[in-house]
């Protein structure tokens, strides 16, 4: 067998991260701040397909050590803010090292980490800190991050608007949770939909998977014609095209594999999934505060407690199921759906790689056949040259003998 024409060194292409735009978006801050209690999205321009094109804003110099963040709360309000590290650590109760996950050092990693009051998400270009009540997105004006921001603007307000119609304003909703009697009814409403943190996680996974799916489709669309052309005509140009396809395939497969492995890691550990239920822990704390308040009211003789224990009424079974720390069914179903999608992408990429291997084998067979034909031709030419050499030598000997005979007058002239 000859030298493998596909034995190219793999090159790990790494896209340069665009530098975050500096400056607070003052005009956008004022506009978004005015809609914090409404579902009207901030002034983000969209194209005909609904995608975010960009933001037209004026900038001013940022304070030293701060970073631009976009904040969405569970009621659909959004705003651009500038936070330093200490503020983020205090708001989300995160260790300082977790902020490195959102930095450039881990830009190519995929991580979903649960802490006591927050979840740190780093999936491709989607980076966020999610709590039970809000989500914080660093550098939201970067072009690739705008896809995620656009989806949050479009989808979170629509869900919060329905909840607002049922429960009233945000302040009324919060006060209702602190009142003893309506607490189970509030719980019944909350358990009818995914917790806020899982809504954000679902949007993040959907945006990332859609981006990867588009790249996989483009890869498949470009790969098969190039491979077919190489099978018909083995040339340097076609080999270079296939080398480029293999490089892109390796890069995309690694990206899909990282996201898939992170989801698989979570699915394999129920305890890790249980830690991601931030709303459950948040409501546990609210219930505990209500119990302590009522206990204090009993001690001072103001009024008897009105808080019914979860699971003590007719809806106790469903709410006990909601508060069961071992119940991770909602998150498991969510992750499995995107795991299947990513696994399908991976299989498509592996199918392309198998087709490349098959094409490689076919091209190697063609080259071996051509090499064998060249060897046969070379052998034929060698035999012919040897025959011509023998014939020429015989003729030379004949002429020498004839000349010698004439010189010695053995034969007449």
Residue range 75-124, pLDDT digits in tens: 888 889 898 888 888 888 888 888 888 877 667 778 898 888 899 999 98
In which band, very low, low, confident or very high, does the pLDDT at 51 lie, cut at 50, 70 and 90? Answer: very low
311 pLDDT above the threshold of 60: no
Task: Quote the pLDDT of residue 62.
Answer: 52
Higher pLDDT, 397 or 190: 397
| Amino acid 353: pLDDT | 93
262 or 162: which carries more pLDDT confidence? 262
> Which pLDDT score is estimated for 61?
47
Q: What percent of the chain has pLDDT over 70?
A: 67
Buried b (16+ CB within 10 A) or exposed e, 255-274: bbbbbbebbbebbeeeebbb
Tell me the per-residue pLDDT of 274-295, one tens digit each, with 9 for 90 and over.
999 998 888 887 877 777 776 6
Mean of pLDDT values over 151-178: 53
Whether residue 266 has pLDDT greater than 50: yes
**Mean pLDDT within 204-230:** 93
Per-residue pLDDT, 296: 62
Task: Judge whether residue 325 has pLDDT over 70.
Answer: no
Mean of the per-residue pLDDT values of the chain = 75
Q: What is the pLDDT of residue 301?
A: 53
| pLDDT band with cut points at 50, 70 and 90 for residue 362 | very high
Distance, CA of 147 to CA of 69 (rounded, Å) = 15
Q: Is the pLDDT of residue 234 over 50?
A: yes
The predicted structure's pLDDT at residue 286? 80
Q: Record the tokens describing residue 307, joined without a space.
A: 């808080």
- Chain centroid to Cα 41, Å, comes to 25
pLDDT band of 297, cuts 50, 70, 90? low
- The three state secondary structure string of the chain is CCCCCCCCCCCCCCCCCCCCCCCEEHHHHHHHHCCCCCCCCCCCEECCCCCEEECCCCEECCCCCEEEEEEEECCCCEEEEEEEHHHHHHHHCCCHHHHHHHCHHHCCCCEEEECCCEEEEEECCEEEEEECCEEEEECCCCCCHHHHHHHHHHHHHHHHHHHHHHHCCHHHHHHHHHCCCCHHHHHHHHCCCCCHHHHHHHHHHHHHHHHHHHHHHHHHHHHHHHHHHHHHCCCHHHHHHHHHHHHHHHHHHHHHHHHHHHHHHHHCCHHHHHHCCHHHHHHHHHHHHHHHHHHHHHHHCCCCCCCCCCCCCCCHHHHHHHHCCCCCHHHHHHHHHHHHHHHHHHHHHHHHHHHHHHHHHHHHHHHHHHHHHHHHHHHHHHHHHHHHHHHHHHHHHHHHHHHHHHHCCCCCC
Q: What is the reported pLDDT for 158? A: 53
Mean pLDDT of 333-361: 94
Q: Residue 155 and residue 203: Cα distance in Å, rounded?
A: 9
Q: Which of 28-42, 111-125, 191-205, 242-256 has the lowest mean pLDDT?
A: 28-42
Measured CA to CA in angstroms, residue 240 lies from 243, 247, 270, 365 at distances of 5, 11, 47, 19
Higher pLDDT, 132 or 24: 132
Least confident window among 99-113, 186-200, 352-366: 186-200
Q: By mean pLDDT, which of 175-184, 201-210, 364-373, 399-408 is the weakest?
A: 175-184
The predicted structure's pLDDT at residue 350? 95
């Amino acid at each position: 067998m000859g030298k493998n024409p596909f034995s190219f060194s793999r090159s790990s292409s790494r896209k340069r991260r665009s530098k975050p735009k500096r400056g607070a978006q003052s005009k956008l801050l004022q506009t978004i701040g005015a809609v914090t209690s409404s579902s009207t999205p901030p002034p983000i321009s969209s194209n005909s397909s609904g995608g975010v094109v960009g933001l037209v804003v004026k900038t001013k110099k940022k304070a030293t050590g701060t970073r631009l963040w976009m904040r969405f709360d569970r009621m659909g309000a959004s705003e651009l803010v500038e936070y330093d590290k200490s503020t983020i650590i205090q708001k989300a109760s995160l260790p300082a090292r977790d902020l490195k996950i959102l930095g450039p050092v881990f830009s190519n990693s995929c991580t979903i980490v649960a802490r006591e009051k927050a979840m740190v998400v780093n999936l491709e270009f989607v980076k966020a800190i999610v709590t039970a009540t809000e989500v914080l997105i660093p550098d939201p004006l970067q072009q690739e991050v705008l896809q995620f921001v656009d989806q949050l603007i479009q989808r979170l307000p629509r869900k919060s608007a329905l909840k607002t119609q049922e429960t009233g304003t945000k302040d009324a909703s919060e006060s209702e949770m602190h009142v003893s009697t309506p607490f189970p009814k509030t719980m019944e409403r909350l358990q009818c939909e995914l917790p806020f943190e899982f809504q954000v996680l679902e949007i993040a996974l959907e945006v990332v998977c859609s981006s990867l799916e588009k790249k996989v489709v483009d890869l498949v669309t470009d790969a098969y014609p190039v491979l077919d052309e190489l099978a018909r005509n083995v040339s340097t140009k076609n080999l270079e095209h296939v080398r480029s396809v293999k490089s892109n395939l390796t890069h995309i497969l690694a990206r899909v594999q990282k996201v898939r492995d992170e989801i698989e890691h979570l699915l394999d550990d129920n305890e890790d999934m249980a830690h991601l239920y931030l709303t459950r822990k948040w409501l546990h704390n609210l219930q505990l505060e209500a119990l302590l308040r009522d206990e204090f009211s009993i001690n001072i003789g103001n009024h008897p407690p009105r808080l019914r224990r979860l699971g003590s009424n007719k809806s106790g079974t469903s709410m006990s199921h909601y508060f069961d720390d071992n119940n991770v069914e909602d998150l498991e179903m969510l992750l499995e759906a995107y795991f299947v999608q990513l696994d399908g992408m991976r299989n498509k990429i592996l199918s392309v790689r198998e087709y490349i291997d098959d094409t490689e084998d076919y091209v190697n067979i063609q080259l071996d056949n051509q090499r064998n034909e060249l060897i046969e031709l070379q052998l034929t030419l060698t035999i012919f040259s040897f025959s011509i050499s023998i014939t020429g030598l015989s003729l030379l000997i004949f002429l020498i003998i004839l000349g010698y005979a004439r010189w010695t007058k053995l034969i007449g002239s």
